[in-house]
Amino acid sequence: MIKKIFGISFCFLLFSFSFLSNVSAEDAQTLGELKKSYQDKLDEKARNEAMSSEAKAEIARKEAALKQAEADIHDARAEMEQAQKDIDASNQRIDELKVNASEVLLYLQQMKGTNAYIEYVTGATTMTDMIMRIAAVEQLSNQIHGTIGDLETEIKRNEDLKKELDEKTKKLEAQTVEYKKVIEENYDKVDEYDSYALDINAQITSLKNLLDTYEDKCAKWAPEKGDNAILNVDCIEPKYDDSGDLIPIGNDGWLKPLYSGVITSEIGSRWGSYHNALDIGGNAEGTPVYAAAAGVVSGMVHRYSCGGNMLYIDVNVNGEAYTTYYYHLLSFNVNLGDVVTQDTIIGYVGGYSTGKNHGGYDSCTTGAHLHFGVAKGYYNGYSISKNNVITPPGFSNTYGWRFYSRYDMY
């Protein structure tokens, strides 16, 4: 679930941005709010780690229970095998005794019907001896029958034991299935928590870098406002042209981020997830990437496992707020909080040497290209989703569509 929440549209909770000429109460974010965002993210990480620890503890408990259940199953099966051996041995003994009993009975019948039996009985020297001789023969027969009865009782006891052990084994086997299911579910949770930890750690790093940047900027340009300083109004160094006029950050239109290119992957569903930008190919690794609109660098992610070097710039075009984002960069050419124009080289096309297929670290690229996207609203983490991602103005969301100039303004 956590992976689905972040997915390809992964982004980091940073701040709502306002430009000098287009500030509104709902857009502006203060230094104090940025500090709170950072602390909230630290708290979220702590909760995530607690859930991960509990999942790992549950795995340990169930693995111990599984090990014991498997040992009990092994013992029960050994007892069942021994019980079956005892049953087989008793049955064999009964068969032997039945043969002996038959022979004794036949002998008695023959003796009682012949002089041999009479001679054996009358050969006694005393009455006591005679009685004892008669009893001895009959006692031998009764003893055989008694032993057979004992063995049959023993067989019944062993059969009952086998049944009991069989039921016990089935219950243990059912328990092992349940234990394995719980273990698998918790391993899935740990995988999600660990995957999420990668995301949240990157968010925390990005937030901390941004906070450090703006603490310095706000201390320099608006020390009297403290935590109430509006980040991109009070804490940005003014830019002036050669004539001394203030350079506006707002834009009247858009330019392409590259001088030429071809769409190699569209915005929309792809490989079971949502692809939140256009992939632009046709450029060698190291080709300069420009800002599609003037704005302020609002987020930087270094060497992320799916996206590589990722850059976010908050822009305002014709009075509307947007976030532009550029993934798979070979390297950055700007820093957090920098004001950029449409002529600023913000980074360089990457994706070939940085891709895992070529020994790199970025699993979501197989060749040199730029992942370029535009979303409505300023960069605040959850704003970049399929609900507010748009086709970059001046582009066609069509595989194979080409452009040959970045100066077609829209």
Q: Which CATH class is domain 35-229?
A: mainly alpha
Of residues 182 and 374, more confidence is placed in 374
Please determine, for residue 139, whether its predicted confidence score (pLDDT) is greater than 70: no
User: How many percent of the chain have pLDDT more than 90?
Assistant: 24
Q: Is the pLDDT of residue 12 over 90?
A: no
Burial of 235 (0-12, 13-18, 19+ CB in 10 A): buried
* Location of structure tokens 């007892």: 79
pLDDT for 25 equals: 34
What pLDDT sits at residue 325? Answer: 94
**CA dihedral in degrees (187, 193, 198, 202; nearest 10)?**
180
Residue 227 and residue 360 in contact, taking contact as beta carbons nearer than 8 Å: no
Rounded to whole angstroms, how far apart are CA atoms 144 and 97? Answer: 6
What is the model's pLDDT at position 333?
96
How confident is the model at residue 287, as a pLDDT?
97
Q: Are 30 and 231 in contact (CB under 8 A)?
A: yes
Q: Provide the residue type at 284 as one letter.
A: A
pLDDT at 198: 58
Nearest to 69 by CA among 184, 169, 172, 181: 172
What confidence score (pLDDT) does residue 14 get? 30
Q: What is the pLDDT of residue 410?
A: 58
Residue 38 or 346, more confident: 346
State how far the Cα of 367 lies from the Cα of 328, in Å rounded to an integer: 10
Q: Which long-range contacts does 167-171 make (Cβ < 8 Å, 24+ apart)?
A: 168/72, 168/76, 169/73, 169/76, 169/77, 169/80
What tokens were used for 293? 């609109």
Distance CA 42, CA 211 (A): 13
Helices 115-122/127-221 angle, 10° precision: 90
* Cβ within 8 Å of residue 70, ≥6 positions away: 176
Which residues on neighbouring strands pair with residue 316, listed in sequence order?
A: 321
Mean pLDDT of the chain: 79
The values of phi and psi at residue 9, to 5°, are -80, 20
Query: Which residues fall within 8 angstroms of residue 109, CB to CB, at 6 or more apart?
Result: none
Q: How many helices (H) and strands (E) does the chain have?
A: 5, 13
φ, ψ for residue 223, nearest 5 deg = -65, -30
The pLDDT of residue 402 is 94
Across 153-168, average pLDDT: 84
CB neighbour class for 223 (10 Å; exposed up to 12, middle 13-18, buried from 19): exposed
Task: Look up residue 194 and give its two tokens.
Answer: 């660990």
Does this model's pTM top 0.75? My answer is no
Determine contact, residues 403/392, Cβ cutoff 8 Å: no
Supply 268's token pair.
Answer: 């929309």
The residues, ordered by sequence, that sit 6+ positions from 360 with a Cβ below 8 Å of its Cβ are 308, 353, 354
Residues 101, 121: Cα–Cα separation, whole Å? 21
Contact at 8 Å (CB) between 140 and 104? yes
The sign one gets for the Cα dihedral 44, 47, 51, 52 is positive
Name the residue with higher pLDDT: 197 or 63: 63
Q: Which residue has the higher pLDDT, 182 or 241?
A: 182
In this predicted model, which residue has the larger pLDDT, 49 or 280?
Answer: 280
- Residue with the larger pLDDT of the pair 329 and 8: 329
Nearest to 44 by CA among 201, 265, 254, 213: 201
In tens, the pLDDT along 380-410 reads 544 577 888 999 999 999 999 999 999 876 5
pLDDT tier for residue 203 given thresholds of 50, 70 and 90: confident
> Residue range 159-182: average pLDDT?
86
Least confident stretch, 15-24, 74-83, 312-321: 15-24
Structure confidence at residue 226 (pLDDT): 93
Q: What kind and span of H or E run contains 304?
A: strand 295-304
- Higher-confidence residue of 315 and 105: namely 315
pLDDT tens column, 288-347: 999 999 888 888 888 888 899 999 998 888 888 899 999 999 999 998 888 888 989 999
Q: What is the pLDDT of residue 115?
A: 47
Same CATH topology for 3-7+12-29+230-403 and 35-229: the answer is: no
Confidence (pLDDT) at 314: 87
3-class SS at 328? strand
In angstroms, the CA 19 to CA 293 distance is 13
Site of tokens 């859930």 = 51
pLDDT at 267: 93
Q: Is residue 355 classed as helix, strand or coil in its secondary structure?
A: strand
Out of 238-252, 268-282, 363-377, least confident range? 238-252
Domain boundaries in the chain?
3-7+12-29+230-403, 35-229
Give the span between the Cα atoms of 342 and 294, in whole angstroms: 5
Q: Which CATH class is domain 3-7+12-29+230-403?
A: mainly beta
pLDDT band at residue 360, thresholds of 50, 70 and 90?
very high
How many angstroms separate the CA atoms of 75 and 6, rounded? 48
